[in-house]
Amino acid sequence: MAGKDEKFIKFYTTSILQSYDYQKMTLEEKGLYSHLLYLLAETTDGELIYDETLLAHQCGVSVRKFRAVFANISSKFQRRTDDENLTKIFNPKMKSTVLARQQKSEKLSDSGALGGKTTQAK
């Protein structure tokens, strides 16, 4: 059973596994790609600060290994610089999924905050 703060993301595994790009990846590349997607799914905006030391630590590899493997999968991610001059990475599809989940969560929260007031008004 998922915990209260557990985040849910729908993955279309067949699409991923049958993707030519994914099939060409090495086991290391698939592992890093998947792990970064999981980290992105844990965010509220679908973006990660691109800090190689932190990301390498979160993925359980050395910075040197992270750089080498990420170089091969970097095309799956886009980079942007935010207002605070931080470089962030995101996967467009995961970002849209995370934002949709966030909007749905906020909508449900707002509906719950009404506490049945709209029903009582009828």
CA-CA distance, 44 to 106, in Å (whole number)? 11
Instruction: Kindly indicate the confidence band of residue 7, based on its pLDDT and cuts at 50, 70 and 90.
Output: confident
CB atoms within 10 A of CB 32: 24
pLDDT tens column, 64-78: 999 999 999 999 999
Give the pLDDT confidence of 82-96 residue by residue, as tens digits: 999 999 999 999 999
Distances (CA, A) of 110 to 2, 58, 73, 101: 22, 33, 39, 14
Average pLDDT over residues 18-34: 95
Over residues 88-115, mean pLDDT: 83
CB distance 78 to 89 below 8 Å: yes
> How high does pLDDT run on average in the chain?
88
Give phi and psi for 70, each to the nearest 5: -60, -35
Distance CA 12, CA 81 (A): 29
Task: Give the residue-averaged pLDDT of 43-64.
Answer: 96
Quick one: CA torsion of 99, 105, 109, 110, rounded to 10 degrees?
A: 40
